[in-house]
């Protein structure tokens, strides 16, 4: 049995990754922050559909980088893969981004994930193959005005993956980033229909991605046969920006 730990499994992209991995036979640790109802619903649905696999839910606020043992000590037995699909952004000028919100974004999407990776490295190395996938963003490669802090954090995940991949390649661990453009999820509910139509018009494919168009690439990166691809950022953007 292959095991994966999915951060942000209660989110729209993370929950689709969970569903697709479960369909592919994986057992899962499903992390959530506040949405207990959604994670319970996902875990019950997956348990019913795949009674021979295990689905374990884990709660953790990733703006707290100092208590990662709360998560890491809960990982019993083997672990093949970690997927980081938690995330949030603050829309506005960088000059107006509060220090607190900047720190929260950096801690939640960079500091905590990197410390978790340090802590789980041995476990990933012990499994027959190890996989780390970050859900980054096209903004990490292209940069976005009004989301400068978010772009910085996502760009740092790509830089980290490029470097760390070289350190752990000999341990059989690959480290990659899937960087979506605009995806039709909760995160984009802030846009009105007309704002969304304006973005559609900028995207060469002409529409937002669906979560399963991102999950598809996560599953590819997690597969055993993907062992020769590491340190890369894959842009799934419908041709937008990158």
Ligand X SMILES: NC(=O)c1ccc[n+]([C@@H]2O[C@H](COP(=O)([O-])OP(=O)(O)OC[C@H]3O[C@@H](n4cnc5c(N)ncnc54)[C@H](OP(=O)(O)O)[C@@H]3O)[C@@H](O)[C@H]2O)c1
* By the rule CB under 6 A, 185 interacts with ligand X: yes
In the list 187, 199, 220, 229, the residue contacting ligand X (rule: CB under 6 A) is 187
| Cβ–Cβ < 8 Å for 109, 86 | yes
Q: Which is nearer to ligand X, 14 or 238 (CB)?
A: 14
The residue count for binding ligand X (CB under 6 A) is 27
Active-site residue among 29, 139, 150, 235?
A: 150
> By CB under 6 A, is residue 11 in contact with ligand X?
yes
Q: Least CB distance from residue 133 to ligand X, whole Å?
A: 11
- Cβ at position 128, least distance to ligand X in Å: 28
Our finding on whether 13 is near ligand X (CB under 6 A) is yes
C-alpha dihedral (211, 212, 218, 223), degrees to nearest 10: 170
Active site (annotated) includes residue 91: no
- Check residue 8 for interaction with ligand X (CB under 6 A): yes
149 binds ligand X (CB under 6 A): no
> What residues make contact with ligand X under the rule CB under 6 A?
8, 10-14, 32-35, 61-63, 85-88, 108, 135, 137, 180, 182-183, 185-188
**Which residue numbers are catalytic?**
150
């Amino acid at each position: 049995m292959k095991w994966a730990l999915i951060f942000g499994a209660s989110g729209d992209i993370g929950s689709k990754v969970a569903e697709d991995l479960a369909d592919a036979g994986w057992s899962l640790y499903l992390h959530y922050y506040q949405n207990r109802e959604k994670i319970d619903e996902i875990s019950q649905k997956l348990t019913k559909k795949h009674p021979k696999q295990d689905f374990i839910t884990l709660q953790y606020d990733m703006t707290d980088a100092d208590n990662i043992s709360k998560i890491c000590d809960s990982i019993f037995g083997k672990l093949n893969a970690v997927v980081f699909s938690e995330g949030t952004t603050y829309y506005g000028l960088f000059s107006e981004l509060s220090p607190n919100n900047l720190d929260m974004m950096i801690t939640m999407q960079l500091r905590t994930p990197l410390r978790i990776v340090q802590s789980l490295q041995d476990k990933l190395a012990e499994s027959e193959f190890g996989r780390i996938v970050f859900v980054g963003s096209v903004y990490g490669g292209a940069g976005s005005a009004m989301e400068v802090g978010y772009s910085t954090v996502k760009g740092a995940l790509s830089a980290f993956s490029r470097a760390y991949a070289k350190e752990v390649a000999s341990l059989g661990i690959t480290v990659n980033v899937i960087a979506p453009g605009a995806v039709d999820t909760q995160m984009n509910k802030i846009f009105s229909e007309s704002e969304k139509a304006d973005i559609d018009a900028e995207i060469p494919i002409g529409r937002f991605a669906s979560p399963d168009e991102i999950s598809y690439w996560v599953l590819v990166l997690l597969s055993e046969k993907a062992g020769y691809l590491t340190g890369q950022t894959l842009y799934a953007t419908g041709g937008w920006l990158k």
